[in-house]
Amino acid sequence: MLREIFRELFQYRELLRAFTYRNIKIRYKQTIMGFLWAIFMPAVIVLSGIVIKKAIAIVSGRPLELAEIVSVSVKALPWAFFIGAIKFSVNSLVGNMNLVKKIYFPREVFPISYIFVQLFDFLIAIAFLTLVLIFARIGLSIYLLYVPFLIIFLVLFTIGLALILSCGNVFFRDVRYIVDVVLTFGIFFTPVFYEASMFKDWKIILLLNPVASILESMNAVVVFHKMPDIFWFTYAGVASAVMFISGLSVFHKSEQIFAEVI
């Protein structure tokens, strides 16, 4: 079944490209900031994190270190990609109900195209962050070779989850509202503003979230120039692959009745 899904998506790759390009044009059409919107959300998250880090530093009576600011910046980008991709993709089927009803093509194209749009923004933000890291003299290390794998893990996990949630939103329209609430408060349960190591007894529970494992691994290789925890790195990879395959399977089994329900 998975081979059939991949083959069909490959056959409709031009349609996926067209939807992605259309959504990018819609997002940036008649905007004052243009592509600066790609770094707006990460910038807001970073500024929020700096305020929290500064408050903690004041309470503990120590100065705010540059590494702490860089750490928040490095984790803010993938987190902004994740919440943006999930938020926009969850309503992708319902928002395009006319096309869903009229002609046949793999419906996975809708949520995946929205994720690719967010990935486009993510890559722009990464380029900007790279300049910031160079200015901050963070330096390079061999461990940066882990970064592409971590990005792949994040994209696979996001696609799988988005497929399941967008499918669920077809049958239960309040799914999108539940997702908005969870994403709003999810940052407090994910190590973006802090490190999981701060919670010794709760560290394992936090890192069971694959996104948290990815963020902690990203922080280790980029900021601290060290190898990520192999167990949690492997866990993130396996969990992302399982979510991706599960999302494709659930979506494929459900899409036959989308036109009847939507």
- In this prediction the pTM is 0.91
Decide if pLDDT at 220 tops 90.
yes
Q: Tell me the DSSP string of 39-85.
A: HHHHHHHHHHHHHHHHHHHHHHT-PPPHHHHHHHHHHHHHHHHHHHH
Residues 146-176: tens digit of each pLDDT: 999 999 999 999 999 999 999 999 888 889 9
Q: Cβ-count burial of 185 within 10 angstroms (0-12 exposed, 13-18 middle, 19+ buried)?
A: exposed
Decide if pLDDT at 219 tops 90.
yes
- CB atoms inside a 10 Å sphere around CB 244: 20
pLDDT at residue 146, rounded to an integer = 96
Decide if pLDDT at 240 tops 70.
yes
pLDDT at residue 26, rounded to an integer = 80
Residues 107-141: tens digit of each pLDDT: 899 999 999 999 998 988 888 888 878 877 777 78
